[in-house]
């Protein structure tokens, strides 16, 4: 690697499955930016050391994935408003003065994929967000800012849904949006957009909400992609909804990180199209 090539990485455990290196390499190719983006596997108790080591190598930026997103803000000098709201970061920027800036582009990626790539407006819509863990926390603020009318947070553990609703209540009031916390079996009525932010499919469990939440034309979105999303997508299709997996969110959150780091917006729709075709 030349001393003029900027170094980036995705840090996680596990990280071997991550498609971020391929996405950023393609962004760099299409925008003419010179950078290297690698995977860095760090021990479960070694995230802080991993970040220090990467900074010592003059790394410029780092994406953070499972299970370190909630640990990341604590290592930053400055956190964006999005990180403060979500309590989690997925993008660290290492500045020349040694400081670290933490941001969270997951929610921006989800909103961009729903509105731009899927062509579904969030403004004035009723949204069901299933789950209240780190993945849900990362997207609730941007969903509110995108103009949703009402967001129902349904989680197996009610107290976690209530905590998430509570921490976002000021933003919801500002946006004149309604926020509701509920347990999945108690969800009634149907929704315009249903977003699965749980790890239930990984646990081998079924979709935790009744199919009555769907109506023909609803967008049923799983934030996962590949085999992990399949059960939810099949369930949505079988009940007449429009299924969509999280591949577009992955590409769009990467595009937001690339923009933050390089000051250039990559052609994310083109890269998503290429990845969808490669997967087909």
Contact residues for ligand ATR (CB under 6 A)? 131-136, 155-157, 160, 198-200, 203, 205, 208
In angstroms, give the least distance from the CB of 236 to ligand ATR: 16
Cα–Cα distance list, 256 to 122, 145, 195, 269 (Å): 19, 16, 21, 13
- The residue with its CB nearest to ligand ATR is 133
CB of 45 to ligand ATR, least distance (A): 18
Q: Which two tokens stand for residue 269?
A: 């729709």
Of the pair 161, 271, the CB lying nearest ligand ATR is at 161
Is residue 69 part of the annotated active site? The answer reads yes
CB of 278: closest distance to ligand ATR in angstroms? 25
Closer residue to ligand ATR, CB minimum distance, 59 or 134? 134
Pick the closer one to ligand ATR by CB: 223 or 271: 223
Task: Give whichever of 19 and 273 is closer to ligand ATR, judged by the CB atom.
Answer: 19
Active-site residue among 69, 96, 160, 176?
Answer: 69
Task: Provide the minimum distance between the beta carbon of 111 and ligand ATR in the complex, in angstroms, as a whole number.
Answer: 17
Active site residues: 69
């Amino acid at each position: 690697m030349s001393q003029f090539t900027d170094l980036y990485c995705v840090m996680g455990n596990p990280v071997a499955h991550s498609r971020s290196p391929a996405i950023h390499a393609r962004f760099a190719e299409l925008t003419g930016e010179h950078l290297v983006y690698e995977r860095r596997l760090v021990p479960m108790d070694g995230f802080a050391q991993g970040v220090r080591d990467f900074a010592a190598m003059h790394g410029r930026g780092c994406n953070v994935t499972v299970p370190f997103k909630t640990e990341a803000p604590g290592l930053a000098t400055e956190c964006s408003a999005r990180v403060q709201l979500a309590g989690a970061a997925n993008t660290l920027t290492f500045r020349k003065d040694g400081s670290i800036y933490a941001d969270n582009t997951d929610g921006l990626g989800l909103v961009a994929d729903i509105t731009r790539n899927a062509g579904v407006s969030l403004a004035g819509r009723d949204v069901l967000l299933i789950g209240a863990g780190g993945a849900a926390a990362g997207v609730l603020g941007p969903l509110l800012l995108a103009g949703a009318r009402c967001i129902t947070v349904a989680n197996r553990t009610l107290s976690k849904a209530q905590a998430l609703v509570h921490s976002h209540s000021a933003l919801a009031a500002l946006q004149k949006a309604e926020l509701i916390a509920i347990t999945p079996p108690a969800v009634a009525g149907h929704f315009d957009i249903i977003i699965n932010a749980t790890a239930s499919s990984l646990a081998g469990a079924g979709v935790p909400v009744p199919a009555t939440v769907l109506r023909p034309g609803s967008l049923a979105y799983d934030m996962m992609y590949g085999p992990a999303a399949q059960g939810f997508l099949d369930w949505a299709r079988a009940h007449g909804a429009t299924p969509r997996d999280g591949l577009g969110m992955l590409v769009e959150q990467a595009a937001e990180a690339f923009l933050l780091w390089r000051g250039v917006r990559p052609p994310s729709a083109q890269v998503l199209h290429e990845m969808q075709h490669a997967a087909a």
